[in-house]
Chains A and B, each alone.
Chain A
Amino acid sequence: MAAPCRKVNYQFVKRSLRCFEPRVIPCRWSNTLRNQIVEKHRHSPLSSTRELVKQQDDPSDVLVPREFRFVHPDFLPYPIWNRRDRVREKLEREDMLKRRAVLDIPEFYVGSIMAVSIADKNAPGKQNRFVGICIDRAGHGLNHYFVLRNAIDGQGVEIKYDMYNPLLQKIEVLKMEKRLDPQLYYLRDAPLEYSTFRLDMEPVPISKGAHVPLNAIKVKLNPRPWSRRWERSNLKGVEPLDDYITEKMKKQKQHPQIQKTWEMHDLMLKARSSIDDREVDQIMNEVYKRKEKIQKEKLQKRGQEGKREGKKAQEVRR
């Protein structure tokens, strides 16, 4: 009745059991450079760019304002420390700054009302303009994106734009303000009045150097069902959702496994969940200097163009 007996291959079994081993930090892909190797070559006594490296590593020559990193979140390093590729970040930063030299990307926050014009071959003027409120802003490096929302003819519309997409021709901030939440996806479950903005809206001027105004509006959500369980997210820009928080949820929240009070003393967890401030300072220093350069060049160009126009006008007069 039994099948003809054969020896079991123990090697095969050992290999097959590997999937049940405890998870180890995954090794790097072959097309990325480990940071230790890059740093070793940067600081080696034989390298020709030692002076440059010293300059880059010591950011004390220029005072970068603290808000700079919040104005330019796209330049922030990749937050996952063991999957971070510094060479890729550096290359992306170069591309981003080159793009910024051509296109003026203004300062904006989630909650600001913006107008974006993209190149559209199907549109009559080859340009397509959309006005909306910024409900989300995320992504690192060249993948940085923002989402605009508006309600047109009673229909809610959202469009996601990649900030460094060459199809973007113009980004204007019509009204610069902040909101109480980092993302405003709850506007999908709120009455359309909160998401309606006129397409021919005039820009609201804001003086340079002024604080970014905070819109502390408390949105009233529609009756349930919602697209997400908003009572579970700690939304500040929404009217209190105490009606939807049950006794069971309150009890569960108090459970020590959920509160995790020990995590605020966990230094390694903090270290691993964020990139070191010193590295962020270095990056922001570099970006700040390059940005200043770009702005100078732009002013020079404008000056030259003005001179040229003046000359042309003189010729015409003659």
Chain B
Amino acid sequence: MGDNPSLLHASSKASTVTSLKAAGPPSKFTKRRDMQKESRAEKKISIFISKGSNTRKKSFDSELLLRTDNVVRTSELFAVSKMNKIAQAGVCLCKGVNTCVFSVPTQLFSTSPSLNQIIKLSRMKVVDNSMLGRRAELASKPARVIHIYNKKGIGYLGDKVLVAIMGEKKRAYIVGLRQTQKENVPRFDSNNIVLVEDNGTPTGTRIRVPIPSCLRNKEGDFTKILSIATKFV
């Protein structure tokens, strides 16, 4: 009893907690398609908290309660708990132990908000009159972003991207987004790109759709794209 008081106490707590189910509606950060998964699966996390120690955040099965070296900072737990809407918490107030055990049932799924961004493998619509773009449209094989030429990894209006289209790699510029934009910046119904050669000249000779006016002050390769644009919005 005296050897591993934390262990024993935790396991007794564990047994009481398994019977509880996570209550309440799904967290506001979960994706819609995960709602079905949530109702089926629930997993118990046991997180160790240690006062004032340098920690890494981790989640464990009940068997791993044995380890006392992996601990979580108190603030992190509260962030996690708020995100996942913890239903119940149990506290271990073992005498003579320097760790507290919080045993909480949670829904262990990715809880990032639905972002609607251009990332790798996003499908884009080619909006100029290039042969490659036309072929891709007819074959219903949209261009897919495979690299974004900025330090963020998220494509915004006017960004240069590398795109895989009909088995070829091609550079392109983003000229329209489906994402909600800032005020005065137009939002389009499709994610539009204009294909560009390696030297910067656009592949097509005309752009069929309107281009946002905020791209007009861009320099470099963009001036060539603006010269083939027909309408500005």
Q: Which of A16, A153, A159 has a CB less than 8 Å from the CB of B209?
A: A153
Residues of B within 8 A of A161 (CB): 183-184
Q: How many Cβ-Cβ contacts under 8 Å join chain A to chain B?
A: 106
* Contact yes or no, B183 A3, CB < 8 A: no
Q: Determine chain B's interface SS by DSSP, over half rule.
A: loop
* Contact yes or no, A155 B210, CB < 8 A: yes
**A1 to B66 alpha-carbon distance, docked (Å):** 11
A167 at the interface (CB under 8 A from B): yes
**A130 in contact with B233 given A13-B91, A121-B217, A155-B209 (CB within 8 Å):** yes
Report B26 CB to chain A, min CB distance, Å. 16
B35 at the interface (CB under 8 A from A): no
Residue numbers of B with Cβ under 8 A of A are 2-6, 49, 51, 68, 74, 78, 81-82, 86, 89, 91, 93-100, 176, 180-190, 192, 208-210, 213-214, 216-217, 230-233
Q: Which of A4-12, A34-42, A79-87, A300-308 contacts B (4 or more CB under 8 A)?
A: A4-12
**A293 to B119 alpha-carbon distance, docked (Å):** 54
Residues of A within 8 A of B187 (CB): 157-160
* Contact yes or no, B3 A2, CB < 8 A: yes
| Interface size bracket, A side | 35 or more
Residues of B within 8 A of A20 (CB): 86, 89
Given contacts A2-B2, A2-B97, A161-B184, 9 further A-B pairs with CB under 8 A are A1-B3, A2-B4, A120-B213, A152-B210, A153-B209, A157-B189, A160-B184, A161-B183, A165-B183
Residue numbers of A with Cβ under 8 A of B are 1-10, 12-13, 16-17, 19-20, 118, 120-123, 128, 130, 145, 152-162, 165, 167, 188
- In this complex, what residue of A is CB-closest to B192? A155
Residues of B within 8 A of A19 (CB): 78, 81-82
Report A23 CB to chain B, min CB distance, Å. 11
Q: Can you name 28 A-B pairs with beta carbons within 8 Å?
A: A1-B3, A2-B6, A2-B97, A3-B68, A3-B99, A6-B98, A8-B94, A8-B95, A8-B100, A10-B93, A13-B100, A16-B78, A20-B89, A120-B213, A123-B216, A145-B183, A152-B210, A153-B209, A153-B231, A155-B209, A156-B188, A157-B186, A157-B187, A158-B187, A159-B183, A159-B184, A159-B186, A160-B182
Residues of B within 8 A of A154 (CB): 208-209
Residues of B within 8 A of A6 (CB): 96-98
Q: Determine chain A's interface SS by DSSP, over half rule.
A: mixed
* Contact yes or no, A160 B183, CB < 8 A: yes
* Contact yes or no, A3 B213, CB < 8 A: no
